Amino acid sequence: MKPHGLFCPNVISFVSSLLLLFRGAALAPENHENFLKCLSLQSDTISKVIYTQNNSSYSSVLKSSIQNLVFSAPTNQKPLFIITPFHVSEIQAAIKCSKKSGLQIRVRSGGHDLEGLSSISDVPFIIVDLINFSEISIDAEAKTAWVQSGATVGQLNYRIAEKSQNLLAFPVGTCPGVGVGGHFSGGGYGALLRKYGVAADHIVDAHMIDAKGEKF
């Protein structure tokens, strides 16, 4: 998707939703069934968004957001489970159950990280893929926006231009496929840096989920 309005003089303030900052344990679970059972007890809808290695769609979901093909090599350890949540409760369930089962969590927004931190690990792990968390709400009059962490830079630029008739912009990078979750948490270097700073400088509020699975 082609970004719009990157060099407009007005910069929109930003509110980010569900930037996940947590780290799971790195111990191998003794029984993966315990993890699945835990998920079912934590969330009634989790079974619809979880992919195991025996699932026919597992491989395509895993590779869908890996931008560097090096990290999709057969020699890399694969996640035991991939979760593509639609609801906050499903993310919270994944965090709580991975902690109980000794699984590390990798959070994937756009999959553009050069180190493969969202797709690979040296220990047993799961991926929480935020592809379904891509809602964007723009208030052009107030010059603010809510965006979920699975949205991309291109989608964000498009919606800002659409809602403001190309009068507003936000200082993000120019690669449209980059996920805003990773981009913002890494600072967010962009073409408007000199005058307006990085993307993170304009985040005024955020919904977070911590390592205990608590939302605040």
Which one, of 114, 117, 118, lies nearest residue 129 by Cα?
118
Output the CA–CA distances (angstroms, integers) from residue 192 to 166, 170, 198, in the order listed: 15, 8, 8
Question: What residue ranges do the domains of the chain occupy?
Answer: 10-18+133-209, 23-129
Q: What fold does the segment set 23-129 form as a domain?
A: 3.30.43
pLDDT, one tens digit for every residue, the chain (216 residues): 333 333 333 445 555 444 444 444 444 445 578 899 999 999 999 999 999 999 999 999 999 888 888 888 888 899 999 999 999 999 999 999 999 998 999 999 988 887 888 989 999 999 999 999 999 999 999 999 999 999 999 999 999 999 999 999 999 999 999 999 999 998 999 999 999 999 999 999 999 999 999 998
Give the global pTM: 0.84
- Give the Cα separation of 151 and 20 in Å (integer): 14
- Topology at the third CATH level for domain 10-18+133-209: 3.30.465
